Structure formats: structure tokens, C-alpha cells
């Protein structure tokens, strides 16, 4: 028997017993339809929620939101649904609190074997209680959205690091609200929650967003040399500003270092042909062009090679103009 459907049976047996065909011993009984308080719509609602293998939300979406009955009937159905949900949530929390008290604790330190600095988040899984710091659990959640395979974002299962088994749905819901309560809110985990933890639904709507998030994670793993090389590639993509590459490395990174990540994302989006989602491409291209044009407008001679005759050797030599007329900030 599904645990949550058993909660429904407990609730309706004691709250709406007059509409249930079974007594406390599980014996079939007839419903007294001649009772003055009997309501056929309440009866149908209780019968569906009592016997249905689907969860209560399925009933709400398919029978209340799409109800063909009048407003009064829909309100009665919604009232019963809300009461059942309130009981299930309260009873689930009570069961969870009891399990945390009686089940054996697996760990008394965090993942790096340090004592907990504040009250941990406790999760009951496979008859054991596992404790996590909110920050380490937050990083575990975030890491699930940082991977891509052949330029396709991949949402990983959130796993219990002590068992290497995926957390169940009720664990994910519990983790979401615990992190939310502690101010460790994750954007993609929130969207994941709002899409009923469906990977397909999240991917269908936020594939490009997830890919950009993967690119940000990938960029921060690059070495300083790779990041500098990425900057040089940016000026090959925007040749109008190619003179800027002539200035010394320290000044070059100071002026344009903050464009390395946007260009890395822009270049990879172009590579996979993300022109259909031009909003992202335009956003990053505009950010890059605005910064480059701003520097050029304020310092039009920056990076230019200036030829002059040396008095000592009587030969023509050149130097790179690195004069900055003002502190460049934008």
C-alpha cells in the first residue's frame, strides 16, 4: 500500500466516515444515503481520494481545476482536498520527527570529518539518519546542474554521498524546504521543484539556461593561461578592437579580464548554433561590444604602434601606446 494513500484512508475513515464503505476492521459496509447530511458530491470526492492509486494532486489538477460542476460543488471538493492535504503533511512531518528520534544515526560529523557548527539537516534514509551541514547540502544540489555531455546539459541525480544512492522524491522536497528555510536557495533547484522534479520538463523549458550555467562552471575550472588565450580569441572575433592585444598583459587583463567569461559563453553558444535563442547571444554580445566600444571611445589610440626615430641609434623604432586618459570603469 502506498504510504500516502494510507494517510488518505486514515483521514477519511475518521473525518468522513459516513462516506467510506469500510469500518475500522476493514469490513465492507453500506453507506447510509438516507442520512440528512449525505451529499452525493462529497461522496464521489471521498470515494475517489480514498480508492485512487494516484496522489491527491492528480485529483486537484484533473477533477477540481477542470471541474464541469458549478462553483459551489467545486468549492466543496476543494475543501475536502485541502483538509486531506493538510492532514497528510502534518502526519508526514510527525512520522519524520519520530524516525529522527528512534532511528540509528549514521554520522556525527560532516563530510570532511569536522563537527557540525550548527544544527544539521537530518535525513532519514534506509532506516538510518544522515546529517548534513546546510552549506555542503547546498553545494551537492548545485553540482547536479553543472554538467554537460557533448554540449547537452545533463541533470544529475542528487545522491546520498554515504550510500551513493539517489534521494527519493520526498527527500528532495524535504531538502528543498530545509534549504529554503535556511536561506540557501538554489535557482535551478527551485525551478526543478516547481516542475515536480521532472528532468524532461525542466530541460524542455530551460535547456539554454542550464547550458549557460554549465559553461560558467566550466569556465571557472580553466587555468589562467586558458583564460588569457580565451581573451585573445575574443579580439579575433571582434577585429575592430584588435589593437588592444598589443598592450602589456597586466593592463590587458585589468581592462578586459571581466569579458573573458561572457565571451567564453558567447563563443560556445555560437558553436552549438543557439541562434534560435538569440536573446542569450544578444545579451552577451552586447555586453562585450559595449565594453570594447567604451574603452575605444575614451582611448582611441590605446594599443596603437607608434613609429618614432631613436636619437641614440638614428633608427626608427616603435612603441605601443598604453596611455589611458582616465580610469576606465563601466
Looking at residue 145, what is its pLDDT? Answer: 95
Report how far residue 176's alpha carbon sits from residue 159's, in angstroms, rounded to the nearest whole number.
Answer: 14
Within 10 angstroms of residue 121's Cβ, the number of other Cβ atoms is 20
How is 302-324 classified by DSSP, letter by letter?
A: TT-EEEEE-TTT--EEEEE----
- Asked whether residue 245 is assigned to any structural domain, the reply reads yes
Number of domains in the chain: 3
Which residue, 304, 219, 299, is CA-closest to 262? 219
Domain that holds residue 30: 3-102
Show which of 49, 68, 102 is a domain's final residue. Answer: 102
Average pLDDT of the residues of the chain: 87
47 plus 91 within the same structural domain:
yes
In a domain, 109, yes or no: no
Q: Is the dihedral of CA 117, 121, 126, 127 positive or negative?
A: positive
Domain end among 102, 134, 168: 102
In-domain check, residue 325: no
Asked whether residue 328 is domain-assigned, the answer is: no
- Are 306 and 230 found together in one domain? yes
Decide: 128 and 105 in contact? Cβ < 8 Å: yes
* Residue 67 included in any domain: yes
Does some domain include residue 130? yes
Please write the tens of the pLDDT for every residue from 33-76. 888 888 888 998 888 888 888 888 888 888 888 887 888 888 99
Domain boundary among 163, 187, 218: 218
Question: Within a domain: residue 191?
Answer: yes
| Choice between 293 and 26, residue whose per-residue pLDDT is larger | 293
pTM here is 0.75
Residues 53 and 129 in one domain: no
Same domain, 164 and 229: no
Please tell me whether residues 185 and 228 are part of one structural domain.
Answer: no
Is 107 domain-assigned? no
Confidence check: pLDDT of 260 > 50: yes
Amino acid at each position: 500500500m502506498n504510504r500516502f494513500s494510507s494517510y488518505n484512508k486514515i483521514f477519511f475513515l475518521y473525518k468522513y466516515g459516513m462516506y467510506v464503505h469500510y469500518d475500522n476492521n476493514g469490513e465492507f459496509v453500506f453507506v447510509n444515503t438516507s442520512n440528512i447530511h449525505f451529499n452525493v458530491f462529497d461522496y464521489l470526492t471521498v470515494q475517489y481520494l480514498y480508492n485512487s492509486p494516484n496522489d491527491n494532486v492528480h485529483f486537484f489538477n484533473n477533477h477540481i481545476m477542470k471541474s464541469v460542476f458549478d462553483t459551489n460543488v467545486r468549492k466543496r471538493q476543494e475543501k475536502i482536498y485541502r483538509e486531506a492535504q493538510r492532514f497528510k503533511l502534518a502526519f508526514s512531518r510527525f512520522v519524520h520527527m519520530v524516525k529522527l528520534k528512534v532511528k540509528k544515526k549514521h554520522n556525527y560529523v560532516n563530510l570532511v570529518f569536522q563537527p557540525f557548527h550548527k544544527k544539521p539537516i537530518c535525513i532519514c534514509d534506509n532506516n538510518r539518519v544522515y546529517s548534513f551541514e546546510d552549506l555542503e547540502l547546498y553545494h551537492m544540489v548545485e553540482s547536479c546542474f553543472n554538467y554537460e555531455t557533448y554540449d547537452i546539459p545533463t541533470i544529475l541525480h542528487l545522491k546520498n554521498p554515504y550510500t551513493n544512492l539517489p534521494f527519493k522524491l520526498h527527500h528532495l522536497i524535504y531538502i528543498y524546504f530545509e534549504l529554503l528555510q535556511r536561506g540557501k536557495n538554489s535557482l535551478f533547484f527551485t525551478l526543478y521543484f516547481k516542475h515536480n522534479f521532472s528532468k524532461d520538463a525542466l530541460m524542455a523549458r530551460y535547456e539554454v539556461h542550464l547550458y549557460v550555467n554549465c559553461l560558467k562552471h566550466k569556465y571557472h575550472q580553466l587555468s589562467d593561461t586558458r583564460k588569457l588565450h580565451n581573451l585573445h580569441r575574443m579580439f579575433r572575433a571582434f577585429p575592430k578592437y584588435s589593437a588592444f592585444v598589443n598592450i602589456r598583459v597586466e593592463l590587458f587583463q585589468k581592462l578586459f579580464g571581466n569579458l573573458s567569461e561572457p565571451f567564453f559563453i558567447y563563443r560556445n553558444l555560437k558553436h552549438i548554433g543557439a541562434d534560435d535563442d538569440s536573446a542569450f547571444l544578444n545579451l552577451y554580445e552586447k555586453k562585450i561590444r559595449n565594453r570594447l566600444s567604451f574603452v575605444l571611445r575614451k582611448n582611441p589610440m590605446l594599443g596603437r604602434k607608434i613609429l618614432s626615430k631613436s636619437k641614440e641609434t638614428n633608427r626608427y623604432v616603435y612603441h605601443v601606446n598604453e596611455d589611458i586618459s582616465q580610469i576606465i570603469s563601466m
